């Protein structure tokens, strides 16, 4: 017999915007962002915490949003790729700009996750040298293998 | 832009870069439609047998569930026989999904649930009880009997026995490669919507026209009543080149519930639902004179396929044409296993085939005491040995030279196991690379507008290869507007038809169609202007007209026309007297941990002749991606199949290892960059796959040079290095 869990109410501040939603407790943060908030920048590459394409910032720290439920984050601050303020027709965030300038992607599917991880990495102070960047970016898979250019882009964004 | 300073050849930044970095590029799973319902698939837990019964009652009562379908044919999907049997046709699963009780492979779709939300559909699927009668599957190549693939003949040139008799040295070795999964970062997804008898499908595909053909056939529709859109595709590597069962199921689900339906495969389902590169067993025999000239080559490849499909992983394709040798025998055999339908994966046949051939050449070089690079030069094929035809263009010698120079290849340092750096042993290896072009016709649309913008369109696809950017560059040169003013439309069956985005053929064969369409626009406009006494161009010689944007746009505005458009066609010459291949040389340096056998690739250099390089930036991306694909095959990728039950043991990315950023060392890509005079007007050949070819062999050869240990089974994991090295006093390396 299946029992439908009751929807829960949570307030999330997504990209600076506080919003209350009623959500099925089985809904991951990733699915809530994509379906409830219409933010399809974060991608579902595996839904198992193994690829990093769903990476967002939760209270400023990077997490794989597929590996946590939306209802667990009442009152928390979430930043997605859309929250970086980059405008595809105009000014981009410096990390986004660096990714374009250094061709740090191909199909682009992993890219929102890579960029969010890179933003966090810079904040963490893990861009000391290329090897450090490689190590701290290794939670984000890129099957197109734009890896060398991702390293160059992040180093450039770090001002090296 | 003047013809002397073209956009072609420039490292133009991707025109789709800004949408990709802002998360606004739309992939299939991002398409939101009103009243969207969600379908999920349940898959077989056995590899062979019959479904005895499917209890769907509890699932049907579950909250939010709209429909539940068992594998009983009730969806009314018709067979898609003609799509699957087409000449050179798709290699995929030709069976009608959810049609009967027979289980052909582990992970076969056995039921579908459609619900208001994905969570409800998943919860419903968990309530379905399927009872099977399980039979023991045939799961290992070794347990099956090889057979000749239907319609396939052995390649025999000269006489192998004679060639071996005159050889001063021979090498015979066996190589193995495992099943490998494409695993694009975007799992396959389909969203289907019916409006009366018309069907619109968003699909993550490398071939919108193929999807349209299959859907029309399956649902008895006229092709023009089916529209297929592919938007951005998050990588394919072959897994999205063919129409797989879930695409038909999504359309059937939408018809069943009378609502738009999204069906996204999960990552684990990607391991059983959209093809696999089959495992191979290969034997290579080489004979050569003391100076290294080959006298005999035999290459036998046995590869696995399913019982329903005759997929051949063509391991000997490269061997047939890469080196000059008078006596060659190539045999392909298949074995049938209870497995999913295999399909083409990036560099089909050539990836595993070149691992065996190029490893064997390295073994021969060692045997003869000849530098491996020199060995390849001595056997350079000046014409295509497989057909006798001249090459359309071949600069392989230049690839060897450029690559060796950049890498710092030392012909005198070829003794294995002599370079040590602390706890690691250092070695270098190389291999040749080649990729054949498979020409296909294409058409394209072009339009120049009076506002100075242009539109070009073709049902090709952006799968990460830079298609938008490269087509904009090609159009910009003809129409005289900047690439940023060219809007490229792709991935839509309303656009002129193009071949699938596979086989490294998009730039080479669709690029010329774009160019023709733009030229037709230009010529139409010019013809009118030259004949019109009112035009400033009246009576001018065509050769004296500066091809600038103002010329054309000014003419448009003068005649009061908002735009002018044309369709262009490109038909590559099927009866070409030339053999058309890309070429390359791969070099790798590895460090092998002397205690554990762990291999790290420190750096790779690839030098490639891909004809004219339209965009060095995007082309480099393709080759870096290809070389990394090869690195992954060399060191980590393998799908483990349970030998008794035929299961995929690790259907996820924690078990199936893809390279991470830290796994990839410095990769250097060099281009010869000489236009191919015999391939369309653009002069470009394929770049998407050749980076894979030879990469695994170069790494394996470097491992041998580092350690003296020859690993002939991929991937080269630490246990294999240590095991293969035990008889060679591997322990002596430790310290
Ligand atoms: S989708 Fe979250 S880690 Fe892969
Ligand atoms: S750009 Fe395609 S997966 Fe990273």
Q: Which residue has the tokens 């963490």?
A: A124
**Nearest-angstrom CA–CA distance, B493 and B513:** 16
Same domain? For A78 and A55 the reply is yes
pLDDT at B256 over 70: yes
Q: How many domains does chain A have?
A: 2
pLDDT at B735 over 50: no
Q: Is A140 in the pocket of ligand 1 (CB under 6 A)?
A: no
Contacts of B617 in chain A (CB under 8 A): 103
Same domain? For A79 and A143 the reply is no
Q: For atom 3 of ligand 1, which residue has the closest CA?
A: A49
- The candidate with the shortest Cα–Cα distance to B376, out of B417, B427, B412, B429, is B429
pLDDT at B9 over 50: yes
| pLDDT confidence of residue B734 | 42
Contacts of A157 in chain B (CB under 8 A): none
Q: What is the pLDDT of residues A67-105, one digit of tens each?
A: 999 999 999 999 999 999 999 999 999 999 999 999 999
Contacts of B266 in chain A (CB under 8 A): 47
Q: What is the pLDDT of residues B186-219, one digit of tens each?
A: 999 999 999 999 999 999 999 999 999 999 999 9
Q: Could you say which ligand is closest to the alpha carbon of residue A117?
A: 1
* Domain-terminating residue out of A64, A84, A104: A84
**Are A50 and B267 a contacting pair at CB < 8 A?**
yes
pLDDT at B38 over 60: yes
- The candidate with the shortest Cα–Cα distance to B404, out of B586, B583, B631, is B586
Using most ligand atoms within 8 A of CB, pick from A81, A104, A105, A116 the residue to mutate for ligand 2. Answer: A105
| pLDDT confidence of residue A2 | 56
| pLDDT confidence of residue B2 | 45
Length of chain A: 160
Averaged pLDDT score across all residues of chain A: 96
| pLDDT confidence of residue B506 | 82
Of all residues in chain A, the percent with pLDDT exceeding 90 is 94
Q: What is the pLDDT of residues B589-600, one digit of tens each?
A: 999 998 899 999
For residue B135, the CA-to-ligand 1 centroid distance in Å is: 35
CB crowding B429-441: b at 16 or more within 10 Å, else e = bbbbbbbbbbbbe
- The candidate with the shortest Cα–Cα distance to B261, out of B54, B449, B29, B60, is B29
First and final CA of chain B: distance in angstroms?
Answer: 64
- The candidate with the shortest Cα–Cα distance to A73, out of A156, A159, A4, A13, is A13
| pLDDT confidence of residue B680 | 77
- Measure Cα distances from B409 to B371, B400, B585, B599 in Å: 10, 10, 12, 20
Token couple for B25:
């590029």
Architecture of B17-25+439-570 per CATH?
2-Layer Sandwich (3.30)
Average pLDDT over residues B677-691: 89
Strand B442-449's sheet: what is its strand order? B486-489, B454-457, B442-449, B563-570
| pLDDT confidence of residue B89 | 55
Token couple for A79:
């930043």
Within-domain flag for A43: yes
Average pLDDT over residues B306-315: 92
- Nearest CB to B624: which of A107, A109, A148? A148
Q: Is A47 in the pocket of ligand 1 (CB under 6 A)?
A: yes
The answer to whether B97 touches B245, Cβ cutoff 8 Å, is: yes
- The candidate with the shortest Cα–Cα distance to B514, out of B568, B450, B452, is B568
The answer to whether B470 touches B615, Cβ cutoff 8 Å, is: yes
**Nearest-angstrom CA–CA distance, B490 and B468:** 8
pLDDT at B65 over 80: yes
Same domain? For A105 and A73 the reply is no
Which residues, listed in sequence order, are joined to residue B418 by a DSSP beta bridge? none
Contacts of B23 in chain A (CB under 8 A): 39-42, 80-82, 111-112
- Taking the CA of residue A75 and the nearest CA in chain B, the distance in Å comes to 24
Rounded to 5°, angle at Cα A93 from A51 and B187: 25
What's the CATH code of the domain at A41?
Answer: 3.10.20.30
Of all residues in chain B, the percent with pLDDT exceeding 90 is 82
Which residues, listed in sequence order, are joined to residue B180 by a DSSP beta bridge? B277
The answer to whether B352 touches B282, Cβ cutoff 8 Å, is: yes
| pLDDT confidence of residue B87 | 52
**Are A48 and B654 a contacting pair at CB < 8 A?**
yes
Within-domain flag for A3: no
Architecture of B31-135+185-235+240-273 per CATH?
2-Layer Sandwich (3.30)
| pLDDT confidence of residue B4 | 59
**Nearest-angstrom CA–CA distance, B658 and B654:** 9
**Nearest-angstrom CA–CA distance, B420 and B427:** 9
pLDDT at A50 over 90: yes
HSE toward the beta carbon, residue B410, CA cutoff 13 A = 11
pLDDT at B85 over 80: no
Q: What is the pLDDT of residues A120-138, one digit of tens each?
A: 999 999 999 999 999 999 9
- Taking the CA of residue B463 and the nearest CA in chain A, the distance in Å comes to 5
Omega within 30 of 0 (cis) for the link into B715: yes
Q: Where are the domains positioned within chain B?
A: 17-25+439-570, 31-135+185-235+240-273, 349-437+578-725
Q: What is the pLDDT of residues B630-642, one digit of tens each?
A: 999 999 999 999 9
The answer to whether B496 touches B444, Cβ cutoff 8 Å, is: yes
Within-domain flag for A1: no
| pLDDT confidence of residue B88 | 46
The answer to whether B501 touches B461, Cβ cutoff 8 Å, is: yes
Using most ligand atoms within 8 A of CB, pick from A100, A144, A151 the residue to mutate for ligand 2. Answer: A144
Same domain? For A26 and A63 the reply is yes
**Are B237 and A143 a contacting pair at CB < 8 A?**
yes
**Are A134 and B661 a contacting pair at CB < 8 A?**
yes
pLDDT at B548 over 80: no
Q: Which residue has the tokens 């991880």?
A: A117
Domain carrying residue A146: 94-157
For residue A51, the CA-to-ligand 1 centroid distance in Å is: 5
pLDDT at B512 over 80: yes
**Are B235 and A144 a contacting pair at CB < 8 A?**
yes
Within-domain flag for A2: no
**Are B624 and A146 a contacting pair at CB < 8 A?**
yes
Same domain? For A21 and A72 the reply is yes
**Are A2 and B124 a contacting pair at CB < 8 A?**
yes
Token couple for B270:
């990607």
Token couple for B145:
């009997």
Concatenated DSSP letters of chain A: ---PPPPEEEEEEETTEEEEEEE-TT-BHHHIIIIIS---SS--S-SSSSS-TTEEEETTEEEEGGGSBGGGGTT-EEE-GGGG---TTS---HHHHHHHHTT--SS-SSHHHHHHHHHHHHHHT--SSHHHHHHHTTTS--TT--HHHHHHHHHHHTT-
**Nearest-angstrom CA–CA distance, A114 and A92:** 15
Q: Are strands B169-177 and B280-288 parallel, antiparallel or unpaired?
A: antiparallel
- Banded pLDDT at A3 (limits 50, 70, 90): low
Of all residues in chain A, the percent with pLDDT exceeding 70 is 98
Q: Is A45 in the pocket of ligand 1 (CB under 6 A)?
A: yes
- Taking the CA of residue A6 and the nearest CA in chain B, the distance in Å comes to 11
Same domain? For A57 and A76 the reply is yes
**Are B661 and A144 a contacting pair at CB < 8 A?**
no
The answer to whether B202 touches B229, Cβ cutoff 8 Å, is: yes
For residue B179, the CA-to-ligand 2 centroid distance in Å is: 22
Within-domain flag for A89: no
Same domain? For A99 and A37 the reply is no
Same domain? For A57 and A99 the reply is no
Same domain? For A44 and A64 the reply is yes
The answer to whether B392 touches B678, Cβ cutoff 8 Å, is: yes
Atom of ligand 1 nearest to the CA of A52: 3
The answer to whether B21 touches A92, Cβ cutoff 8 Å, is: yes
| pLDDT confidence of residue B92 | 81
| pLDDT confidence of residue B695 | 98
What's the CATH code of the domain at A149?
Answer: 1.10.150.120
Using most ligand atoms within 8 A of CB, pick from A42, A51, A140, A143 the residue to mutate for ligand 1. Answer: A51
Query: Using a 6 Å CB cutoff, which residues line ligand 2?
Result: A 105-111, 142-144, 146; B 185, 235, 464
Average pLDDT over residues B51-55: 98
Would you tell me the crossing angle of helices B350-368 and B695-707 to the nearest 10 degrees? Answer: 30
| pLDDT confidence of residue B3 | 54
Token couple for B366:
């060692």
* Domain-terminating residue out of A36, A65, A84: A84
Find all residues with CB under 8 Å of A141, minimum gap 6, and list them: A45, A50, A51, A52, A53, A110, B185, B653, B658, B660
Q: What is the pLDDT of residues B180-195, one digit of tens each?
A: 999 999 999 999 999 9
- Nearest CB to A100: which of B21, B23, B233? B21
What fold characterizes domain B349-437+578-725?
Answer: Aldehyde Oxidoreductase; domain 4 (3.30.365)
How much is the pTM?
Answer: 0.96
pLDDT at B550 over 80: no
B17-25+439-570 and B349-437+578-725 have identical folds: yes
- Nearest CB to B185: which of A4, A89, A143? A143
Find all residues with CB under 8 Å of B151, minimum gap 6, and list them: none
Catalytic residues of B: 689
Average pLDDT over residues B383-402: 97
Contacts of B267 in chain A (CB under 8 A): 45-48, 50-51
- Measure Cα distances from B686 to A70, B510, B576, B682, B689 in Å: 45, 11, 17, 12, 7
């Amino acid at each position: 017999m299946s029992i439908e869990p009751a929807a829960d109410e949570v307030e999330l501040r997504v990209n600076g915007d506080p919003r209350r939603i009623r959500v099925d407790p089985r809904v991951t943060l990733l699915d809530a962002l994509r379906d409830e908030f219409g933010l399809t920048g974060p991608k579902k590459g595996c839904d198992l915490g193994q690829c990093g394409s769903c990476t967002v910032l939760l209270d400023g720290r990077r997490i794989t949003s597929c590996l946590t439920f939306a209802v667990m984050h009442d009152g928390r601050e979430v930043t997605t790729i859309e929250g970086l303020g980059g405008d595809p027709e105009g000014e981009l965030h410096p990390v986004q700009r660096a990714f374009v300038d250094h061709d740090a992607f191909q199909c682009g599917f992993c890219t929102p996750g890579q960029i969010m991880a890179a933003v966090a990495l810079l904040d963490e102070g893990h861009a000391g040298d290329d090897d450090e960047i490689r190590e701290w970016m290794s939670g984000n898979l890129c099957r197109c293998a734009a890896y060398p250019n991702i390293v160059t882009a992040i180093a450039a964004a770090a001002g090296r | 832009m003047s013809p002397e300073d073209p956009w072609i050849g420039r490292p133009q930044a991707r025109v789709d870069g800004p949408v990709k970095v802002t998360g606004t590029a739309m992939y299939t799973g991002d398409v939101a439609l009103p009243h969207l319902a969600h379908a999920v698939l349940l898959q077989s837990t056995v590899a062979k047998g019959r479904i005895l019964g499917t209890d769907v009652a509890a699932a049907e009562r579950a909250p939010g569930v709209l429909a539940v379908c068992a594998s009983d044919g009730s969806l009314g999907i018709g067979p898609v026989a003609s799509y699957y049997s087409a000449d050179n046709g798709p290699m995929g699963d030709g069976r009608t999904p959810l049609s009967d009780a027979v289980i052909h492979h582990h992970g076969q779709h056995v039921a579908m649930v459609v619900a208001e939300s994905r969570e409800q559909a998943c919860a419903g699927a968990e309530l379905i009880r399927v009872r099977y009668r399980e039979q023991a599957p045939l799961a290992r190549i070794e347990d099956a009997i090889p057979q000749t693939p239907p319609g396939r003949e052995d390649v025999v040139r000269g006489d192998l026995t004679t060639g071996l008799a005159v050889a001063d040295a021979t090498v015979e070795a066996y190589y193995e490669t495992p099943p490998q999964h494409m695993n694009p970062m975007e799992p396959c997804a389909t969203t289907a919507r019916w409006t009366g008898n018309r069907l619109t499908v968003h699909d993550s595909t490398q071939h919108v026209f193929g999807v349209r053909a299959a859907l029309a056939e399956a649902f008895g529709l006229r092709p023009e009543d089916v529209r297929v859109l592919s938007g951005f595709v998050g990588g394919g590597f072959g897994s999205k080149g063919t129409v797989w069962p879930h695409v038909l199921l999504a359309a059937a689900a939408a018809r069943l519930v009378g609502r738009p339906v999204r069906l996204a495969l999960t990552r684990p389902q990607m391991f059983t639902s959209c093809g696999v590169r089959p495992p191979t067993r290969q034997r290579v025999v080489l004979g050569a004179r003391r100076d290294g000239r080959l006298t005999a080559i035999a290459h036998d490849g046995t590869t696995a396929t399913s019982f329903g499909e005759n997929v051949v992983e063509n391991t000997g394709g490269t061997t047939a044409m890469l080196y000059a040798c008078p006596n060659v025998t190539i045999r392909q055999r298949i074995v049938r296993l209870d497995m999913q339908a295999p399909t083409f994966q990036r560099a089909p046949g050539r990836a595993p085939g070149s691992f065996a051939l190029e490893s064997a050449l390295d073994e021969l070089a060692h045997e003869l005491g000849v530098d491996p690079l020199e060995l390849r030069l001595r056997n350079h094929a000046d014409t295509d040995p497989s057909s006798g035809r001249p090459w359309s263009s071949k600069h392989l010698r230049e690839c060897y030279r450029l690559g060796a120079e950049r890498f710092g290849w030392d012909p005198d340092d070829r003794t294995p196991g002599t370079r040590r750096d602390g706890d690691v042993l250092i070695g270098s290896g190389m291999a040749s690379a080649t990729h054949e072009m498979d020409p296909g016709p294409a058409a394209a649309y072009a339009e120049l507008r009076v506002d100075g913008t242009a539109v070009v369109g073709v049902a090709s696809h952006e799968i990460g290869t830079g298609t938008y950017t490269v087509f904009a560059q090609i159009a910009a040169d003809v129409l005289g507007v900047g690439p940023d003013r060219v809007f490229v439309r792709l991935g839509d069956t309303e656009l002129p038809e193009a071949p699938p985005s596979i086989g490294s053929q998009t730039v080479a064969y669709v690029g010329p169609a774009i160019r023709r369409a733009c030229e037709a626009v230009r010529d139409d406009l010019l013809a009118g202007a030259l004949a019109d006494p009112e035009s400033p161009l009246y009576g001018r010689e065509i050769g004296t007209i500066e091809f600038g944007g103002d010329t054309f746009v000014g003419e448009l505005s003068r005649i009061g026309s908002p735009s002018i458009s044309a369709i262009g066609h490109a038909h590559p010459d099927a009866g070409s007297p030339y053999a058309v291949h890309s070429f390359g040389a791969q070099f790798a340096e590895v460090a092998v941990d002397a205690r554990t056998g762990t291999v790290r690739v420190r750096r790779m250099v690839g030098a490639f002749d891909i004809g004219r390089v339209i965009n060095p930036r995007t082309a480099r991306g393709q080759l870096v991606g290809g070389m990394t694909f090869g690195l992954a095959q060399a060191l980590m990728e393998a799908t483990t199949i349970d030998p008794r039950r035929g299961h995929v043991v690790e259907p996820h990315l924690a078990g199936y290892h893809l390279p991470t950023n830290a796994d990839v060392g410095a990769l250097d890509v060099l281009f010869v960059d000489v236009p191919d005079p015999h391939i369309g007007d653009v002069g470009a050949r394929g770049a998407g796959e050749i980076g894979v070819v030879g990469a695994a062999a170069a790494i394996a050869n470097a491992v041998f040079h580092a350690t003296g240990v020859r690993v002939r089974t991929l991937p080269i994991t630490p246990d294999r290095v240590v095991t293969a090295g035990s008889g060679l006093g591997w322990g002596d390396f430790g310290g």
